[in-house]
Amino acid sequence: MPDPTAADPGTDAVAAVVLAGGRAARMGGGAKPQLQVGGRTMLDAVLAAVPAARPRVVVGPPQPVPADVVLVREDPPGGGPVPALRAGLAAVPTGVVVVLAADLPFLTPELVADLVADLAAHPTADGVLVVDATGRDQYLLGAWRTASLRARVAAAGAPTSLRALLAGLQVSRFAAPAPAGRPAPWTDCDTPADLDRARAAAGVPPTPPG
């Protein structure tokens, strides 16, 4: 069966933009996407969920990425998700793009494929994003029509949040199922405690205190 992320719900290939910047202040600074969960970095886990995306674009500071991945930097560096999205979209030639956070160690290709398929099923929608088990929108876990995102980014004036940026778009919500006995694919790692829980779920002992 062909990978649904290899083709746009129309004619184009699907690209992936992974936002891997930010100051990671709650993690004590450093390159959060390069932290390991289950024997691989969180960034590697996210990239593995979009194996057929072309191009795969990582936005953030210099860091190890596979040879076929495009690494770009937002302006200003560390300026937040909207400047990062702008920088990532500049490298996207396709009609559909999946936009992902770099700290989703349990993201799966199946969920990404479901998002692309859901976008195809809603031809009037600008995008589709995941809604977690609590009903919360996951703004950095979605599939979008590139032209719609570009138009919103171009119209953004003063610094704004990603939520405000996307508020003007026609968005479909996808209630992703949480697999039994495994962390949900939208599980992110914002704090050391989050990271310890993710590592424990992946079978790695938590980091000892001190």
Which candidate, 143, 29, 20, places its Cα nearest to that of 73?
20
Do the domain assignments include residue 209? no
Are the C-beta atoms of 148 and 142 separated by less than 8 Å?
Answer: no
Residue 11: its pLDDT value, please?
39
**85 within 8 A of 166, measured Cβ to Cβ:** no
Q: What is the pLDDT of residue 28?
A: 58
Residue 206 lies in a domain: no
**What does the pLDDT read at residue 168?**
84
User: Which residues in 83-204 belong to E strands, given as ranges?
Assistant: 96-101, 127-131, 137-145, 171-175
Q: Looking at the domain assignment, is residue 207 inside a domain?
A: no
DSSP notation for 36-75: EETTEEHHHHHHHT-TT-SSEEEESSS----TTEEEE--S
Instruction: Report the predicted TM-score, pTM, of the whole model to 2 decimal places.
Output: 0.88
Q: Does residue 210 lie in a domain region?
A: no
Question: 23: closest CA among 77, 93, 102?
Answer: 77
Residue 150 DSSP SS3: helix
Cβ atoms 34, 41 nearer than 8 A: yes
Which residues of the chain fall short of a pLDDT of 70? 1-12, 22-30, 158, 204-210
DSSP code, position 172: E
- 17 within a domain of the structure (yes/no): yes
CA atoms within 13 A on the CB side of 8: 19
Helix (H) / strand (E) element for 151: namely helix 146-155
Residue 37 confidence (pLDDT): 94
**According to the model, what pLDDT value does residue 4 have?**
39
pLDDT on residue 181:
79
Position 60 scores a pLDDT of 94
Q: What is the CATH number of the domain that holds 44?
A: 3.90.550.10
CB 137 within 8 A of CB 27: no
Res 8: pLDDT = 37
Residue that the structure tokens 């977690």 belong to: 132
Number of structural domains (the chain) is 1
Q: What is the pLDDT of residues 110-128, one digit of tens each?
A: 999 999 999 999 999 999 9
- Residue with tokens 């424990």, as numbered in its chain: 200
Residue 88 lies in domain: 4-201
In a domain, 116, yes or no: yes
Distance CA 45, CA 186 (A): 12
| 208 within domain boundaries | no
Is there a domain that residue 26 lies in?
Answer: yes
